[in-house]
């Protein structure tokens, strides 16, 4: 399998962590989707990474679909419960954490890729509010649980860890650990896992 991605994309990181936790072999192909020369559309018409190129050359996107597929490839370290309420709860954690990322990435694009005269403070505030209300929500839901889903490490923790890691990378000034102490306690456990260490974005 080949994974097309970048070293800083948090969605790519989610897939890489799942690969590592499940001990799956793959080749990482770095693609700059913002370059004029990008060929990403040949693999993903949306022009986004991550994109997984499977052994039969079929392509999968987006990260939620990719991780769902990867979890079926091997019973090693199952990350998504197979059925029932726990399955949807895990996916809902992922959707929530990805939502934080969507808001954070939107702000980053607004600040770094839009011409200054087109930049909207209202839009940035709207996205920032989504981040803070969702961090509050996740912090409350997590309470004093060991992991998002209780005693078992799952995709929910991977998604939340990627969102928190991205805030560290791009929004250090948010200082999220101070206010969201349950998330901070979870992150201390996650960030030392080899799968997280091996996929940490370059500073
Ligand atoms: C989001 C992928 C995405 O926005 C997923 O895979 O989960 N829902 C999708 N990827 C960004 C890179 S990043 O900011 O992580 C991307 O490829 N953006 C290029 C563009 O044209 O939006």
Question: Residue 162 C-alpha to ligand 1 middle, in angstroms?
Answer: 14
What atom of ligand 1 comes closest to residue 62's alpha carbon? 6
Averaged pLDDT, 158-174:
98
What atom of ligand 1 comes closest to residue 98's alpha carbon? 7
Residue 203: its pLDDT value, please?
A: 79
Residue 144: its pLDDT value, please?
A: 96
Question: Residue 70 C-alpha to ligand 1 middle, in angstroms?
Answer: 19
Distance between CA 35 and CA 58 in Å, rounded? 24
Confirm or reject: Cβ of 48 under 6 Å from ligand 1. yes
Q: Which CATH class is domain 2-70?
A: alpha beta
9 pLDDT above the threshold of 90? yes
Instruction: Return the closest-CA partner of residue 156 out of 118, 192, 183, 194.
Output: 183
45 pLDDT above the threshold of 90? yes
Question: Residue 202 C-alpha to ligand 1 middle, in angstroms?
Answer: 18
Instruction: Return the closest-CA partner of residue 164 out of 194, 140, 134.
Output: 134
Match 């499940």 to its residue by tokens.
Answer: 22
Torsions phi, psi of 150, nearest 5?
110, -120
CA distances from 47 to 5, 34, 43, 57, 90 (A): 11, 9, 8, 17, 27
What atom of ligand 1 comes closest to residue 108's alpha carbon? 14
Is 84-193 a domain of CATH 1.20.1050.10?
yes
Q: What is the pLDDT of residues 171-197, one digit of tens each?
A: 999 999 999 999 999 999 999 999 999
Q: What are the strands of the beta sheet with 2-5, ordered from one edge?
A: 27-30, 2-5, 51-53, 59-60
**Burial, 87: exposed, middle or buried (Cβ in 10 Å; 0-12, 13-18, 19+)?**
middle
| Spans of all domains in the chain | 2-70, 84-193
Instruction: Return the closest-CA partner of residue 89 out of 8, 169, 13, 156.
Output: 156
110 pLDDT above the threshold of 90? yes
Instruction: Return the closest-CA partner of residue 131 out of 90, 73, 173.
Output: 173
CB 91 within 8 A of CB 80: yes
Q: What is the pLDDT of residues 60-90, one digit of tens each?
A: 999 999 999 999 999 989 999 998 999 999 9
pTM above 0.95, yes or no: yes
């Amino acid at each position: 399998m080949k994974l097309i991605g970048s070293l800083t994309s948090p969605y790519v990181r989610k897939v890489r962590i799942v690969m590592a936790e499940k001990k799956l072999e793959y080749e990482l192909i770095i693609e700059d989707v913002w370059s004029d020369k990008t060929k990403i559309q040949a693999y993903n018409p949306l022009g986004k990474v991550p994109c997984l190129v499977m052994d039969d050359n079929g392509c999968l996107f987006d990260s939620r679909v990719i991780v769902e597929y990867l979890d079926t490839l091997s019973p090693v370290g199952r990350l998504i419960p197979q059925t029932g309420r726990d399955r949807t709860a895990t996916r809902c954690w992922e959707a929530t954490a990805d939502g934080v990322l969507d808001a954070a990435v939107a702000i980053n694009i607004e600040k770094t890729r839009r011409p200054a005269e087109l930049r909207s403070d209202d839009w940035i505030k709207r996205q920032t509010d989504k981040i803070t209300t969702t961090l509050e929500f996740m912090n409350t839901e997590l309470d004093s649980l060991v992991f998002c889903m209780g005693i078992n490490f799952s995709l929910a923790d991977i998604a939340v860890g990627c969102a928190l890691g991205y805030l560290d990378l791009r929004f250090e000034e948010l200082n999220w650990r101070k206010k969201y102490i349950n998330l901070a306690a979870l992150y201390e456990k996650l960030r030392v896992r080899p799968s997280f260490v091996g996929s940490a974005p370059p500073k």
